[in-house]
Amino acid sequence: MRIVMKFGGTSVKDGENILHCANLVKKFSEDNEIVVAVSAMAGVTDFLIKAAKKCYSDPSPGFIKVSIAELAKKHFDAINHAVSDDYRSKVILMIERLMDELEKVLLGITYLGELTKRSEDYIVSFGERLCAPIFSATLLSIGVDSVALTGGDAGIITNSNFGRAKPVKDVYTIIDSRLDPLLTIKKTIPVITGFIGSTEDGSITTLGRGGSDLTATLIAASLNADEVWLWKEVDGVLTTDPKIVPEAKLIPEISYLEAMELSHFGAKILHPRALEPVMVRKIPVRIKNTFNPDAPGTVIREETKSVKNIVKALSLIEKVGVVNIIGAGFDFAEIMSDVFKRLAEAGVNVIMVSQSSSELSLSIVVDESDINRALRTLKKLQNGVIRVTKMEDIAVISAVGAGMAGTPGVAGRIFSALGKNGVNIVMISQSVSEANVSFVVSKGQGGTALKVLHDEFKLFK
Ligand code: ADP
Ligand code: ASP
Ligand code: MG
């Protein structure tokens, strides 16, 4: 089989874990052709984002020295643990070069007093760019031929929507032309930086947080892989986030549609766009636990054997806000098209929409990071009749399950269970596929709502 394997940040959090992951690759490469995509070591992306912001808002060269030293130590410690003497000096040199480059960029931000989306992407890309060469050198150290590549080297060419870049249309052919020869002619295992791509003119972009899942599925679709394996720290897709509801149970099989609904509505387990490249090509995606590799995990595929559960899983997004467009006496279609065109042009990610037409009232849930941009953009529509307002400190809960379609009374059960437990609903939306009911509550009630529904639909172990 041809398998694209992605190792998430927790899976590669230190040298011991990188070595463990490399051994997993070695084991499976005996019978399969493998391509690897790696995330940054756990915590590194957040560290880089914070460092970039601090260099901009509270510049201090001393802070840069300390940050660079801390990051360098983390990666050198990993090398000392995972990479053998034969390959160590080469990878150390690469890491030193990258650290020098990063130090210069951070100093640049400090002196210029400017942090653009483009420079932020450049800075966060160091996480994956530092990790991939170490992973690749670890494979070499255990006798597996390998080469490290950046997303750009691997053909992940994107538009220039920095922070949430989209792959260009012919990305699949470009990736195939860069990677296929490495597999078929050179017979080597490419280790590719997840999460990052490049514009056609060579600027580094990122695919959005959690984007290394998307890197893996883009590569799989390009190379016509048989499967994608996403190695994470959980046994698979669970009925909800185990960090909030510890009783959450493993879902052995889930459809593309259900998994997409879950990830779109915030389940951190998967990047929201990760399934797009593979679902048309019907490539199954397995979520596997790095720390429990023999467990079967979850398989995401087109058809699942059972749709018995009405509500299969629940998700919660807390980093969101609502923009409301309120008015009266307008052509609804006209206003809607204007609103969404403006939001698309401003690069705002729309999560959920709800509308009432007696009086014009359109509520749009967007990422918390987009709320002010959305508000600024839509305020331009404001006049004597139309008002644009925002609402913050809210959470979106989503109940997902293909079995909900055609089953009467599901929404009734959801809202009466919430009502009995004193949870107030601010906004509701259900898609025609009926595979999803989503609603907005105050941020403080998000966790309670999740637990109430998890119990109501008996999703626990
Ligand atoms: P990766 O290591 O690939 O980056 P993530 O940290 O992005 O993995 O995703 C795994 C995390 O997703 C888990 O730690 C878990 O807390 C969270 N999560 C949210 N919803 C779910 C769910 N339905 N099933 C499993 N994990 C979930
Ligand atoms: N390192 C990136 C993040 O933390 C991408 C990823 O892990 O998928 O978001
Ligand atoms: Mg992730």
Q: Which atom of ligand 2 is nearest to the CA of 209?
A: 9
For 355, phi and psi rounded to 5 degrees?
-145, 145
Domains present along the chain, CATH in parentheses:
2-233 (3.40.1160.10), 313-456 (3.30.2130.10)
Ligand nearest to the CA of 130: 2
Q: Which atom of ligand 1 is nearest to the CA of 287?
A: 3
Q: Which atom of ligand 2 is nearest to the CA of 208?
A: 9
- Cα 290 off chain centre by: 18
**Does the CB atom of residue 155 touch ligand 2 within 6 A?**
no
Q: How far apart are CA 224 and CA 180, in angstroms?
A: 10
- Give the Å distance between the CA of 4 and the centre of ligand 1: 19
For 229, phi and psi rounded to 5 degrees?
-115, 120
pLDDT for the residue numbered 13: 98
- Give the Å distance between the CA of 47 and the centre of ligand 3: 16
Residue 256, Cβ neighbours under 10 Å: how many?
Answer: 21
Place of tokens 């898609």: 431
Q: Which two tokens stand for residue 406?
A: 């055609």
Residues with a beta carbon under 5 angstroms from ion ligand 3? 210
Given ligand 1 and candidates 6, 214, 241, 287, which is best to mutate, with the most ligand atoms within 8 Å of its CB?
Answer: 241
- Give the Å distance between the CA of 105 and the centre of ligand 3: 26
Helix (H) / strand (E) containing 316: strand 313-327
The torsion region of residue 323 among left (phi > 0), alpha (psi -120 to 50) and beta comes to beta
Q: pTM score, two decimals?
A: 0.92
Q: Which two tokens stand for residue 421?
A: 């437990």
337: helix, coil or strand? helix
For 5, phi and psi rounded to 5 degrees?
-110, 130
pLDDT for the residue numbered 386: 87
- Give the Å distance between the CA of 379 and the centre of ligand 3: 34
Q: Which atom of ligand 1 is nearest to the CA of 230?
A: 3
**Does the CB atom of residue 40 touch ligand 2 within 6 A?**
yes
Q: Which two tokens stand for residue 453?
A: 């529904």
SS3 content of the chain, % helix, strand, coil (to 5): 45, 25, 35
Q: Supply the DSSP string of 41-54, one letter for each residue.
A: STTHHHHHHHHHHH
Given ligand 2 and candidates 38, 123, 126, 212, which is best to mutate, with the most ligand atoms within 8 Å of its CB?
Answer: 212
Tens-of-pLDDT digits for all 461 residues of the chain? 999 999 999 999 999 999 999 999 999 999 999 999 999 999 999 999 999 999 988 888 889 999 999 999 999 999 999 999 999 999 999 999 999 999 999 999 999 888 999 999 999 999 999 999 999 999 999 999 999 999 999 999 999 999 999 999 999 999 999 999 999 999 999 999 999 999 999 999 999 999 999 999 999 999 999 999 999 999 999 999 999 999 999 999 999 999 999 998 888 899 989 999 999 999 999 999 999 999 999 999 997 665 567 899 999 999 899 999 988 766 778 888 899 999 999 989 899 998 876 667 889 999 998 999 999 999 998 888 889 999 999 999 999 998 887 788 888 899 999 999 999 998 998 876 778 899 999 999 999 999 999 999 989 86
pLDDT for the residue numbered 256: 94
Place of tokens 């590669």: 12
Ligand nearest to the CA of 5: 1
**Does the CB atom of residue 268 touch ligand 2 within 6 A?**
no
- Give the Å distance between the CA of 108 and the centre of ligand 1: 35
- Give the Å distance between the CA of 453 and the centre of ligand 1: 19
- Give the Å distance between the CA of 46 and the centre of ligand 1: 16
Q: Supply the DSSP string of 320-336, one letter for each residue.
A: EEEEEEEESS--HHHHH
Q: Which atom of ligand 1 is nearest to the CA of 237?
A: 24
Q: Where are the alpha helices (DSSP H) in 146-267?
A: 171-184, 212-222, 256-264
Q: Please name which of 197, 198, 220, 172 lies closest in space to residue 33, comparing C-alpha atoms.
A: 220
Q: How far apart are CA 259 and CA 237, in angstroms?
A: 8
- Give the Å distance between the CA of 148 and the centre of ligand 2: 18
**Does the CB atom of residue 132 touch ligand 2 within 6 A?**
no
Residue 161's Cβ-count burial label (10 Å; 0-12, 13-18, 19+) is middle
Q: How far apart are CA 113 and CA 128, in angstroms?
A: 25
413 Cβ contact list (under 8 Å, min separation 6): 456, 457
Note whether 151 and 195 are within 8 A (CB).
Answer: yes
Residue with the smallest CA separation from ligand 1 atom 3 is 8
351 Cβ contact list (under 8 Å, min separation 6): 264, 265, 317, 320, 365, 366, 367, 396
Side-by-side strand order, sheet with 189-193? 146-149, 189-193, 33-38, 2-7, 227-232, 285-289, 298-301, 253-255
Ligand 1-lining residues (CB < 6 angstroms): 8-11, 39, 210, 230, 232-234, 237-238, 240-243, 267-269, 313
Given ligand 1 and candidates 212, 268, 317, which is best to mutate, with the most ligand atoms within 8 Å of its CB?
Answer: 268
Note whether 397 and 446 are within 8 A (CB).
Answer: yes
**Does the CB atom of residue 212 touch ligand 2 within 6 A?**
yes
Note whether 269 and 234 are within 8 A (CB).
Answer: yes
